[in-house]
Amino acid sequence: MWNTRIETVMSEVTCPGCGLSCDDLRLEMDNGQLKSLENGCALARSHYSSAFDTASKGAEIKGKGVSLEAALDYGAELLSSAHNPLFAGLATDVNGMRATLELADRCGASLDHMNGDALFRNIRVMQDSGWFTTTFTEARNRADLIVLGGKQWIDRFPRLIERILHPAESLFSPPDDRQFVLLGPWDAAALPDELQRLSPQVIPMQLEQLSDTASLLRGLIAGRPVNARSLGNSVGSQLEELAGQLKAARYSVVSWSAAELDFPHAELTIQNLVDLVKDLNRTTRSAALPLAGTLADTTSNQVCTWQLGYPLRTGLQRGYPEHDPILNRYQDLLKRQEADLLLWLSSLSPQAHPPATDAPTIVLGHPGMAFDNAPDLYIPTGIPGVDHPGHWYRGDSVCPLPLGQLRESALPAVSQVMTALNDKLQHFAGL
């Protein structure tokens, strides 16, 4: 569905509020205002209400209103005088990212997403060892044992239980027979109701202990002489039991949200979880379900990977792509003053502001953004899925879904702004 026809009631709308990308939303509009929203969670409500609360507005140079043409001229001037521009944020749709990469190639820019830290906790595991994963529909129909690391998933992916973990129906694994195991800083006596209803086993632990936990489980499953009680007697005996459950499960699913694992070298924790899954597949079936996709991190990374051959955190300064997942972290490029221009792309959230920097800053962003310190240039852009149609990836990386258009809008799409800037730079170059 590539929807550019706007009706009063739009159904089967895909929501970019989180990486679950539920595509069963029903929105009713009245005179360009949102009247009702069905099937949406709290994140969806917040996404659509901030979108519909925002009136269209014009571009600004240092906080002063200018025409779009003047803004594009100024943007092209800033870009052409920069030696090492940094394109970061990158919360946009597929076509926005395509046009961004074309401009980045011309300008020799470096690229990183606002969620780069979380994204690369997972990607570095793929680069080092690969992994074994599953997707939403597969887990929904097949999982009989679900192990969830951490606790933020319940807020970050609000409809995960309803849509995947415990759906109304399933092809191969009756939802009521499923076993759930929670590894993380949970208080078993104070679980949220919807989680309590699943009667999960809770193995309380700090996030930093997940890595050791996965290692111990691997040892127990392989029959090596490991001492699970090193994590405490109670946790130890639960892990011994869990090792047995994992071996006996027909299709276990191990899940985490890398954004929550916000501590040094958390990629090694993910590595251990992935290796646990790989080990289990020697005798039974198991798969990982990394939860991601927030603010288009999966989307912009996918497009970058096919067009440049590398994931994000790639630079084009030398006329060809060079990738380094550590050196090209946008926060560090700015801190080391290695970027002399920041182009911040944030078309999905009015809150995702650019980092403070001395470098000249261009923001292509959500029309609802308000700045304490006005950037050198702000071009409000259309919200994909509201102001213009687009494509967006779910967090399981496999399913790019169409985002329809919900209202008439004068706001340019990120792809249009990037293409216009590219044309101007091409003109400067005399080509």
Partner 1 sequence: MLIKLAGGKVYDPANNIDGEIRDIYIRDGAIVDTPPASEPVHRSYPLDGKIVMAGAIDLHTHIGGGKVNIARTMLPEDQRGHTRERTALTRSGGGHAAPSTLTAGYRYAEMGYTTCFEPAILPVNARQAHMEMADTPMLDTGGYAMLGSDELLLQLMAEGAEQETINDYVAWTLHASQCIGIKVVNPGGISAFKFNTRELDVDDSHPYYPITPRDIVRTLSRALTDLGVPHPLHVHASNLGVPGNFSSTLATMDAAEGLPIHLTHIQFHSYGAEGDRKFSSSAAQIVEAVNRQPNISMDIGQIMFGQTITVSGDTMRQHANHGHAHPNKWTCMDIECDAGCGVVPFRYRDQNFVNALQWAIGLELFLMMDDPWRVFLTTDHPNGAPFTSYPHLIRLLMDRSFRNDLLAQINPDAAASSHLGSLDREYSLYEIAIMTRAAPARILGLADRGHLRPGAIADITVYHPADNPEKMFEKPMLVFKDGQVVVEEGRITRPVKGSTQVVRPEYDRGIEKRLSRWFDRYHSIKLQNFRISDDEMAEGIGSPVSIHPCDRKRTA
**Neighbour tally for 148: CB within 10 Å:** 24
Q: Binding to partner 1 by residue 9, rule CB under 8 A?
A: no
Residues between 257 and 296 with contacts to partner 1, criterion CB under 8 A: 281, 284-285, 287
* Shortest Cβ 70–partner 1 spacing (Å): 28
Q: Which stretch binds partner 1 (CB under 8 A): 95-103, 188-196, 349-357, 369-377?
A: 95-103
170 belongs to the binding site for partner 1 (CB under 8 A): yes
**Nearest distance from C-beta of residue 309 to partner 1, angstroms:** 4
Kindly state the tokens that stand for 394.
């779910």
Q: Is 178 in the site for partner 1 (CB under 8 A)?
A: no
- Does the protein bind partner 1 through residue 52 (CB under 8 A)? no
User: Which one of residues 33, 129, 337, 373 is an interface residue with partner 1 (CB under 8 A)?
Assistant: 129
Q: Is 416 in the site for partner 1 (CB under 8 A)?
A: no
| Residue 358 one-letter amino acid | D
DSSP secondary structure string for all residues of 366-429: -TT---SS--SEEEE-PPBTTTB-EEEE-TTSS-EEEE---S---SPPHHHHHHHHHHHHHHHT
Please list, in sequence order, all residues whose beta carbon lies within 8 angstroms of the beta carbon of residue 391, skipping any fewer than 6 positions away: 93, 94, 95, 299, 400, 401, 402, 403
Q: Which is nearer to partner 1, 115 or 357 (CB)?
A: 115
203: nearest Cα among 168, 176, 172, 231: 231
Q: How far is the CB of 185 from partner 1 (least distance, A)?
A: 28
Separation CA 97–CA 104 (nearest Å)? 10
Report residue 121 CA to chain centroid gap.
12
Contact between 256 and 273 under an 8 Å Cβ cutoff? The reply is: yes
CB-wise, 126 or 202, nearer to partner 1? 126
Does position 16 bind partner 1 by CB under 8 A? no
Which lies closer to partner 1 via its Cβ, residue 23 or residue 297? 23
Residues near partner 1, by CB under 8 A: 1-2, 4, 12, 14, 23-24, 94-95, 98, 102, 105-106, 123, 126-138, 140-142, 163-164, 168-172, 250-251, 281, 284-285, 287, 302-303, 305-311, 316, 319-321, 323, 389-391, 397-402, 431
